[in-house]
Amino acid sequence: MSEKKLQKLLEEKALKIPRGEVMIFEERCKGCNFCIEFCPKKVLVQSGKYNSTGYHPPMLVEEEPLKVCINCGFCMLICPEFAICVKPRENK
Amino acid sequence: MSVQANQSISYVSGNIALVEGAIKAGCRFYAGYPITPSTEIAEAFARRMPQIGGIFIQMEDEIGSIAAVLGASWTGAKSMTATSGPGFSLMMEHVGLAVMLETPCVIVDVQRGGPSTGLPTLPAQSDVMQAKWGSHGSYEIIAISPNSPNEAFLHSIKAFNLSEQYRVPVIILMDESVAHMYEKVRIPRDDEITVMNRRIPLDKEHYLPFKPDENLVPPMAIAGMGFRFHVTGLTHDERGYPAATREAQDKFVKRLADKIRKNAEKVWEVEQFCIDDAEVAVVSFGITSRSSLRAIRMAREEGIKAGLIRLVTIWPFPDKIMRDVAKKVKGFVVAEMNYGQIFYEVERCSNGKQVILAENLGGEASTADEILGKIREAK
Amino acid sequence: MLEQEYDAFLGKYFRIERFPHIWCPGCGLGTATQALIRAIDKSGIDPNTIMIVSGIGCTGRAAGYLNFDSFHVLHGRAIPFAVGLKLANPKLNVIVFSGDGDLFAIGGNHFIHAARRNNDILVICVNNFNYGMTGGQLGPTSPLDSSTTTSPYGNIEPSFNLPWLAASSGATYVARWTVLHMRQLINTILEALQRKGFRFIEILAPCPVNFGRRNDLPEGIDELKMYQKYSTVVNFADPRIAEIKWESEIIVGKFVDAEKPTYEERMTNLIEKVKGGRSG
């Protein structure tokens, strides 16, 4: 499905995509970049800040309506440090 | 030939008697590897364990055997393996692990001529120092030495009791002579036998696996009961977690040795014959102690005031007893089937008195005559 | 709130008071242990019956972080220890979690015999292609020509094909995944937990500091990308062809899923035959 069509369906509320709430435990991060690299929606980027052990934790950068966290959970699964988790976002 | 359950006297070999003693003590797990002259122990367990619902497994090698014994012990089972010199050498790393994890287990070493492949079918007593120092690091174990099939039965029970009490590997240092000789074994009645078991902690919530009681021994959790303990061969703290500091080493490793050192007088056992007025004390153990007993009697007939100290426990070495005897005698004869092992322990305690070695590199039990010859020298 | 929820979940299966763990940035072990606990969580098995036995090496340290009765024993000897544990109490669920060198170099003999007997234990091997803990020496799974501290001019030893070794020794369940294949890995571990007999799962994981760094995969992410590029999922491939062709082809998936009487079942039958039922 093309991105244009997807966007249209979303606007019409004919399609709902799952959304996720991401929590990053910045102090646990060791900067391996696994989550950033393998997020399917590319919504994680390396932040500029340092944690106390000198690593740059990731941060969430979303762009509605499509470049958003879809609660796939892969970042949580792949993280070797248990430094990121995600759960379904409550509907407002 | 197996022990008849409803008779109190049996005629069996040392190896068989040892197996029956272990069963009486509650041993229900045996993992081993065949090696002369201990193989009859494995074969007897292979026959007996299924009869009583216990487990016998012949593992791929001695290392697998002792590892399985330690694993089984953590389920609460009394576990044993038996071997001889070459297999005992292979098991050394696990002796250290058993010490570090404070795992009760009994290892039988039926000694044969060494070093290396040596004399597979002939006796020696040359693994004595190895029993104490064979693994790396600073540690203590308990080793006992039966000198008859009857004693093999009783020592089997004794070994399990000590092992459970102190959470330490206990080594039964047999020799091929005692293992293979057939003699009368009197099976005690059940009410005459004391069987001791490890203490199990009551509180799962606050259990610290390596926090000792006043006797320096921590209660031991049983796997699968919800204690969620962690044990490691790394030096660890009371929680069982690795602790890589001098302080942790000093606190923990010292206690493991002190478990035995500070309780040594409760553990050691000797038999003394004609020591009170002795001028020459023969120190011996296992098969050699039987020839030694005859030798001191022959010496007395010649007018030599000889006595015998038979080591029932070899480790911890009864140095206090030896030092007391050293005050009274003119000299010692150490009769052992090796080129000098307990000799050095006796010398250490001899307070300058002469110590002569009645050596026997192995192959045939020492004769009373050759020991008598040394007694005459020592006089 | 979410942090507390996550830590509550983690705390059921990890000794989180000991975190952060000692594994390097980019190491695959944190991920591999996460796969294990998620599978255990899904399985519904009583965690009190789960026994973790590990050997020496970075993977072996996992036992110290896992909140089960866990045993960190000698190098190469996790399997026979586990065999004793399981035989003496067959109600336990015994998992060996150890590394490639520990299980297949020094521990190789114990592996093949436990597989041959079909001892009812699950053996998980985290294969990072070297001896990481001690600085990156070669191991029996280091690829031919790879650079390690004990093969500085290139490894001249062919490496083991672990699925074939396991299958030919008698394992009744054999699978391989990489830490990248997290969903499949969790499902495979879950499936293996529900099987009986000698089960073997190989997990490929990066060791950037001691292996990757010397072999053109400087960060863990580089090795994960390599797995992504070269791994192919094949169902029930013949284990004979499972040899890893470094940076060329890595077959992942399930190789063997069979049923055979376990050693424990045979033992129970034997005892029943001889005695008429097991006593305590």
Which pLDDT belongs to residue A66?
86
Using the structure block, give the residue that is written with the tokens 């106390």: A52
Mutual angle of helices B319-328 and B342-349, in 10-degree steps: 60
In sequence order, the β-bridge partners of residue B83 are: B109
In a domain, C181, yes or no: yes
Please give the Cα distance from B354 to B347 (Å, whole number).
8
Q: Write out chain C residues lying below 8 Å of B31, CB-based.
A: 80, 84
Which pLDDT belongs to residue C141?
98
In a domain, C280, yes or no: no
Please give the Cα distance from C212 to C164 (Å, whole number).
25
Using the structure block, give the residue that is written with the tokens 């988790």: A85
First and final CA of chain C: distance in angstroms?
Answer: 47
Q: Residue B13: is its pLDDT beyond 60?
A: yes
Q: What is the CATH number of the domain that holds C67?
A: 3.40.50.970
Cβ within 8 Å, pair B71-C89: no
Q: Residue B1: is its pLDDT beyond 70?
A: no
- In one letter, which amino acid is B234? L
H/E stretch holding B35 reads: none
In a domain, C229, yes or no: yes
Q: Concatenate the DSSP letters of all residues of C26-95 into one string.
A: T-SHHHHHHHHHHHHHHHT--GGGEEEEE-SSTGGGHHHHBSSEEEE--TT-HHHHHHHHHHH-TTSEEE
- In one letter, which amino acid is B192? E
Give the three-class secondary structure for B246.
helix
Residue among C64, C81, C86 whose CB faces B70 most closely: C81
CA C258 to mean position of chain CA atoms: 19
Cβ within 8 Å, pair A77-C182: yes
CA-closest candidate to residue B309, choices B298, B301, B326: B326
Residue B10 contacts residue B4 (beta carbons within 8 Å): yes
Quickly count: other Cβ atoms within 10 Å of residue A54's Cβ: 8
In a mutational test of the A interface, the residue from C7, C31, C226 whose CB has the highest number of chain A CBs within 10 Å is: C31
Q: Nearest residue on chain C to A30, judged by CA atoms?
A: C25
Locate A54 and state its tokens.
Answer: 């000198």
Cβ within 8 Å, pair C80-B67: yes
pLDDT tens across C263-276, in order?
999 999 999 999 86
Cβ within 8 Å, pair C113-B64: yes
Enumerate residues 215 to 234 of chain B having a beta carbon within 8 A of any beta carbon in chain C. 221, 223-234
Residue C182 contacts residue A74 (beta carbons within 8 Å): yes
Decide: residue C268, CB within 10 A, 0-12 exposed, 13-18 middle, 19+ buried.
Answer: middle
Please give the Cα distance from B81 to B29 (Å, whole number).
9
pLDDT tens across B325-344, in order?
999 999 999 999 999 999 99
pLDDT tens across B336-369, in order?
999 999 999 999 999 999 999 999 999 999 999 9
With cut-offs at 50, 70 and 90, classify the pLDDT of residue B281. Answer: very high
Bridge-based pairing state of the strands B331-335 and C199-204: unpaired
State the DSSP code for B236: B
Q: Write out chain A residues lying below 8 Å of C179, CB-based.
A: 78
Q: Write out chain C residues lying below 8 Å of B68, CB-based.
A: 80-81, 83-84, 87
Cβ within 8 Å, pair B50-C274: yes
More confident: B215 or B335: B335
Question: Could you give phi then psi for residue B176, rounded to 5 degrees?
Answer: -60, -35
Which of 3.40.50.300, 3.90.70.10, 3.40.190.10, 3.40.50.920 is the CATH number of B269-378? 3.40.50.920
Cβ within 8 Å, pair C63-B230: yes
Print burial letters for B50-70: b (CB count within 10 Å at least 16), e (below 16). Answer: beebbbbbebbbbbbbbbbbb
Using the structure block, give the residue that is written with the tokens 């010292």: B254
- CATH number, span A17-88: 3.30.70.20
Please give the Cα distance from C141 to C135 (Å, whole number).
16
Average pLDDT of every residue of chain B: 96
Domains in chain C, number: 1
Extents of the domains making up chain B: 9-192, 269-378
Using the structure block, give the residue that is written with the tokens 């050192």: B261
Question: Could you give phi then psi for residue B370, rounded to 5 degrees?
Answer: -70, -35
Which pLDDT belongs to residue C280?
42
Please give the Cα distance from B107 to B118 (Å, whole number).
21
Which stretches in chain C have pLDDT values below 70?
A: 1, 276-280
Cβ within 8 Å, pair B68-C87: yes
Q: Which domain holds residue C33?
A: 2-275
Which pLDDT belongs to residue B169?
98
Q: How far is CA B71 from CA A28, B78, B223, C60, C66, in A?
A: 35, 11, 10, 16, 18
Which region, left, alpha or beta, applies to residue B167 given φ > 0 means left and ψ of -120 to 50 means alpha?
left
- In one letter, which amino acid is B194? T
Task: Return per-residue pLDDT of chain A as tens, 92 residues.
Answer: 788 888 888 888 877 889 999 999 999 999 999 999 999 999 999 999 999 999 999 999 999 888 999 999 999 999 999 999 999 998 75
Please give the Cα distance from B270 to B307 (Å, whole number).
13
Residue C120 contacts residue C90 (beta carbons within 8 Å): yes
Residue C244 contacts residue C162 (beta carbons within 8 Å): no
Q: Write out chain C residues lying below 8 Å of B230, CB-based.
A: 15, 63-64, 69-72
- Please compute the mean of the pLDDT values over residues B217-239 and round it to a whole number: 97
Residue C43 contacts residue C195 (beta carbons within 8 Å): no
Please give the Cα distance from B340 to C97 (Å, whole number).
45
Angle (nearest 5°) at CA A23 between A22 and A27: 145
Please give the Cα distance from B205 to C258 (Å, whole number).
41
Q: Write out chain A residues lying below 8 Å of C28, CB-based.
A: 80
Give the three-class secondary structure for B79.
strand
The reply to whether B9-192 and B269-378 are identical in fold is yes
Angle (nearest 5°) at CA B94 between B75 and C198: 55
User: Number of Cβ pairs closer than 8 Å across B and C?
Assistant: 141
Quickly count: other Cβ atoms within 10 Å of residue B276's Cβ: 9
Please give the Cα distance from B18 to B106 (Å, whole number).
11
Residue B56 contacts residue B97 (beta carbons within 8 Å): no
Q: Residue B288: is its pLDDT beyond 80?
A: yes
Please give the Cα distance from B169 to B162 (Å, whole number).
9
CA-closest candidate to residue B70, choices B24, B48, B102, B118: B102
- Percent of chain B's residues with pLDDT above 70: 98
CA-closest candidate to residue A78, choices A34, A27, A37, A30: A34
Cβ within 8 Å, pair C224-A55: no
Q: Residue B3: is its pLDDT beyond 70?
A: no
pTM exceeding the 0.90 threshold for the entire prediction: yes
Cβ within 8 Å, pair C34-A38: no
Which pLDDT belongs to residue C1?
66
Bridge-based pairing state of the strands B55-58 and B27-32: parallel
Please give the Cα distance from B286 to C76 (Å, whole number).
36
Please give the Cα distance from B262 to B283 (Å, whole number).
24
Report yes or no: C72 at the B interface, CB cutoff 8 Å.
Answer: yes
Give the three-class secondary structure for A42.
coil
In a mutational test of the B interface, the residue from C81, C94, C264, C270 whose CB has the highest number of chain B CBs within 10 Å is: C81
- CATH number, span B9-192: 3.40.50.970
Cβ within 8 Å, pair A37-C28: no
